[in-house]
Amino acid sequence: MFQFLRNSHRCTYRPSVRLLLLLFLFSSFSGACSTNSAEQEIDFKDNIADTRPDTLKTRKSATKAPVQIDFLGNPFLADYDQSRKLDAYFARINSDFTVEAEPIPNIHKTQITDTIYIIRFGSSMIELYAPTQTGDLLLQVADIQGNGISLRNNMKVGMSQPELMNKLKNFDVRILQTNAEIVATSISTDGAPAAIRFLLKNGKVSRIRYEGYVD
């Protein structure tokens, strides 16, 4: 009887061992699969993160404000990037014009050749200095005697004296006024000297002269 029980116990024990072994192997295999799946999922997410565009960075770049030029620095164009392009001046002229280009030596380094551009339209002209090394296009002189072009804030030849005074209040300038002209100059004594002269005739602007400073 004992032998039978022992044999019976042995017979029931071996399947239990097999069952436990199978459960152990299945558990190990499932754990390995779960680990591999988790790793693959992490890798997949990482790949998505790597290929997904940085919309925040793009949005930040898109909303970057342009560099502005003060009124006396350039009374025609406020945007610095636009002021470096001849086409930006051409687009503001509403009459026929010609362009002259004259090479000149740089005042600091005579071995470098810069360029002076003169835009003429009617009796008016705009003179721009283009240093070769910087790529800038600096306004030196403007003499406007007709309505072929307007300044910022739509200031132009032919406007009334009160209208001009009202528009100049939008800019940080010192205003000197006589019966013959209105002069806008810088409030600060620091920096390059510049002035805009509005000549008057019969209570209206008859001519605009800009005198800039280029070093």
Write a three-state SS string for 99-142.
EEEEEEECCCCCCCEEEEEEEEECCEEEEEEECCCCCCCEEEEE
**pLDDT attached to residue 108:** 87
CATH node for 80-211: 2.60.460
**pLDDT attached to residue 189:** 59
Average pLDDT over residues 40-54: 48
Contact by Cβ (8 Å): 172, 185:
no
**pLDDT attached to residue 187:** 78
**pLDDT attached to residue 104:** 94
What whole-number distance in Å separates Cα of residue 214 and Cα of residue 193? 9
**pLDDT attached to residue 76:** 97
Return the number of other C-beta atoms located less than 10 Å from residue 195's C-beta.
17
CA dihedral of residues 209, 119, 190, 136 (deg, nearest 10): 170
Q: Which of 19-28, 73-82, 88-97, 108-117 has the lowest mean pLDDT?
A: 19-28
Instruction: Report the DSSP pairing between strands 181-185 and 174-177.
Output: antiparallel
**If pLDDT is split at 50, 70 and 90, which confidence band does 48 have?**
very low
154-211 confidence digits (pLDDT tens)? 999 999 999 999 999 999 999 999 999 999 998 765 656 789 999 999 999 999 999 9
**If pLDDT is split at 50, 70 and 90, which confidence band does 151 have?**
very high
Judge whether residue 13 has pLDDT over 60: no
**pLDDT attached to residue 188:** 66
For all residues of the chain together, what is the average pLDDT?
79
Q: Which of 7-16, 54-63, 137-146 has the lowest mean pLDDT?
A: 7-16
**pLDDT attached to residue 64:** 67
Average pLDDT over residues 96-123: 95
Pick from 11-15, 35-39, 183-187 the range whose average pLDDT is largest. Answer: 183-187
**pLDDT attached to residue 91:** 96
**pLDDT attached to residue 107:** 85
